Structure 1
Amino acid sequence: MTPLLLVAIAVVTVAFVVAFIRLLLGPSLPDRVIAMDLMATVGSGGIALYAMVTNHGVLLDAVMVLSLIFFLGTIAFAYYLERQGEAP
């Protein structure tokens, strides 16, 4: 394993921990949802790093599908927030 991969794994781990702290301490619902989205994105990056370390390219397909699902979840939440301000 190269030193660059070790640094990348450390950065991904720190980013995940910081996002988890924001999830726990977030003052509002949008802050927490954004933290969850960031954790999903960083998790996808972690899986991609693991695929690079272990030479399993099939994991990159899973990362692509998960990223699409996370993106659609973020769009759904944005739509929910937009509709929340409208009168019924």
Structure 2
Amino acid sequence: MGGGPDKEHVLITLFDPEPKDITGELRRRFPHFEVTYVQVSPSRKDAEKAGNEISDDLWKSATILITLFTLPAKPELVPK
């Protein structure tokens, strides 16, 4: 998609603890994907704060983002 051949980075930001069975299955089925899971605050009002707590480098490396409310402070932080 955005990371070039065989270089996808799936960034998952959800409020539940990491479902290791699901993320493990993703890693097994797609070994060329890097999967990063970040547990964030469950409150919508805290979503912006949680987005700011994720490093710029992590946002920038993401080619696939799975989230409900957590977004980076600036769209240019997720160029892919």
Q: TM-score scaled by structure 2?
A: 0.30
Q: Which has the larger radius of gyration?
A: 1
Q: TM-score scaled by structure 1?
A: 0.28
Q: Higher relative contact order at CA 8 Å, sep ≥6: structure 1 or structure 2?
A: 2
